[in-house]
Amino acid sequence: NAGVTQTPKFQVLKTGQSMTLQCAQDMNHNSMYWYRQDPGMGLRLIYYSASEGTTDKGEVPNGYNVSRLNKREFSLRLESAAPSQTSVYFCASIGQGWYEQYFGPGTRLTVT
């Protein structure tokens, strides 16, 4: 049982490049989330997927797109990276009934 996994762990992009961050969970959770964490700040919700087949915007969705590929996987795409998207990205999942939210190890992204 690996929990929530994220790939890659680190990434450096040039302005304008695109990339997809991958997230997978093996806990059969319904809901999945993407957050970003900037230095000295808490986490801010980018997008979430309440259940397979649905996605919704969070607090800071501009510049991102998501895909809930199946129940296990939830990907985050940056179509045209900007320096303001330099951050640490966390994926999380939660099971039915709203209990503990489980986080992946994070992806540290730098956009130059």
Partner 1 sequence: GIQVEQSPPDLILQEGANSTLRCNFSDSVNNLQWFHQNPWGQLINLFYIPSGTKQNGRLSATTVATERYSLLYISSSQTTDSGVYFCAGDTGGFKTIFGAGTRLFVKA
Rounded least distance, CB 23 to partner 1, Å = 14
Q: Which residues bind partner 1 (CB under 8 A)?
A: 31, 33, 35, 40-45, 48, 50, 56, 58-59, 88, 90, 92, 98-103, 105-106
Rounded least distance, CB 63 to partner 1, Å = 18
Q: For the chain, what is the total number of helices (H) and then of strands (E)?
A: 0, 11
Q: In angstroms, how far is CA 73 from the centroid of its own chain?
A: 10
Q: Which tokens sit at 45?
A: 């919700």
CA distance 99 to 112: 38
Rounded least distance, CB 95 to partner 1, Å = 11
